Structure 1
């Protein structure tokens, strides 16, 4: 745990931002501590999970115990740590996000029944009107919602001059309740599972999966497709040129996913033996789709520079289909110069473990 907090301190000192530590489930309570904070733009909110199995999930004032819904009225959006099981050994887990708005932000734990018992949190709640106390009252009076699904939609078809790809209707997430044993600890957890996805039982010790980006100057992630368990860490090693690891979706492989993770551009000078690093923590069994945003001089995504975690190979939406869809796209995205954005070596939305400490240490000598 010390390397993680030390890395956080280094990051804060280097960028003159404040890190707000929020304890989740302290002393076994169904609570965030503190329950609300005031934060400035650029501040980091760091949820420290210390017991049992909770989440920190963004909601809204009017629907405190449901996932935040996007402007289209259908898509789930907003920050979500995923379930963070913690055993009795004292090993804590951390999930963080950066404050990018001065508007109030509302959160809850989506473990069954926890929100309805008052396990909620807020950033910058107003002192009048929609106050934190009213948000809490709304939660206490609600029926807790643990998952958000949408109605089935017919298959969509995208056409180009080269080929036609038919995308199956989105697979609905199935809510699963499972008893998990980690060492001497046993608890019951509820999570969203995709049909055909791997078992969600986390490893006793989280596994770090190293993915090499741009190895030997190629437009590749290597390996390009992995299977990982919740709490595992995916570490992207940027070895050459100027690439990104940007989360997308199967439907739009070369477009950034709203509120998904993004390493930012990671320029690596020729002959540099020290790679840039970017980590993210696997939250559940759902497939994760990733691409490179570089479009200079041509789209890397449209050239097949894509990656996936837990793609269901027995389904129509497998990795090969994702890559084919990317290569059939226009590959529009962001183009960068060789200027490296600050803090891009840290996966602030979801990061943990020694990999982050290494990334911070390396960035000090870059």
Structure 2
């Protein structure tokens, strides 16, 4: 006997789609990490992307290719999902998104400065993800290398939105926090920080989160600045002048850049632990005007970056005995000369190499 089943093709199609659907797991954040892992997936309609949130406090928020760090009108948003630093075994909160087409979907973390540091993700991006991430970081990553390459390594020990469904689950994970090793991992990143610029007295970004093994490369722009390690208690004084245990800290030295310069020197440090790192520009008055920087500072509270910067402005740089007026300073070295010195943090000491563009004044 033949039984007629209405809409048989539709039922079979739904069944096949359900059988073939794939789940993609994307880890968001983690100890000292500002990234989605993986950063892209290629998915078909009906597939599910599960965002698994790790330390510290992130979102998965839909944006657009044109505006990577702005919430797309009507786009999805997981909301902030904080995870304690000591939660290494889970369970971890998760948000799921069902893919509805093969069109690209652009995603970012809307925690302050995270998108600008490259914390973005995409579904079906084709070959456009590098351009999307570059747009998020303001194009800094695409800056051409200096004409005289430098090699400096210092080792220092809402519109209307649609929310994704949020679930708390013990989704298996293979990642764990790393506390003992200072060696870069396969996920280590280089964070680009621009120092100064035409009429700019700031580090950009001024506050970053970095994992053990990451590097921070400071790219010096107009006029004449430094990046010098200090402490929270004395924001505008070099660590070497305040340490009671012999810590010398890092110091790039002054980097004079002409207004018409097209190449820029760099200075790189490597992060060996997750303790906050505080730094400032020791050009006269710059620190007192708020030109300070931090790595891994708390997001809020009395020891946050905002508190550090406010403290620097309150002191107005007046207690910075290490401040030097670089306007009157000169160098006897020639163009492209290499200056070497040793600096260290905690027990780690390394030799730094900086290629300076000399003969340039404010």
* Rg comparison, structure with higher value: 2
Whether TM-score is above 0.5 comes out as no
State the TM-score, normalized to the length of structure 1.
Answer: 0.42
State the TM-score, normalized to the length of structure 2.
Answer: 0.42
